[in-house]
Amino acid sequence: MPPSPMPGQTGVAERAPIPGVKNLVAVASGKGGVGKTTVAVNLAVALNRMGASVGLLDADVYGPNVPLMLNTSEQPQAIDERRILPVEA
């Protein structure tokens, strides 16, 4: 068992902010087929309709369904070794 955090610490590693990103929401579950992609896509669409700029990453390397749900077959393009240009749907 890891040691308890010191008073005033959360026990969560501090991360550098992502430039230009104000909020980050993760949709996750340990079980497949529970609607993670559906929730993530609908949340992204709803936030976008409310005026937010939204980025959506489908981290399912075996069967990403976000492109299917957003009706796009376009592939993201590499900008350099560390960045990709996202697809706009």
In this structure, is residue 62 part of a structural domain?
yes
Q: How many domains does the chain have?
A: 1
The string of pLDDT tens digits covering residues 9-39 is 666 667 778 888 889 999 999 898 999 999 9
So what's the pLDDT on residue 45? 97
The string of pLDDT tens digits covering residues 46-84 is 999 999 999 999 998 888 899 999 999 998 899 999 899
In this structure, is residue 68 part of a structural domain?
yes
Q: What b-and-e string marks burial along 57-74, b requiring 16 or more CB atoms within 10 Å of the CB?
A: ebeeeeeeebeebbeeee
In this structure, is residue 77 part of a structural domain?
yes
What residues have CB less than 8 Å from 37, skipping those under 6 apart?
Answer: 58, 60, 65, 66, 69
In this structure, is residue 45 part of a structural domain?
yes
Identify the domain containing residue 50 by its residue range: 36-85
Whole-prediction pTM: 0.75
In this structure, is residue 48 part of a structural domain?
yes
In this structure, is residue 22 part of a structural domain?
no
**Beta bridge partners of residue 85, listed in sequence order:** 77
3-state secondary structure of 77: strand
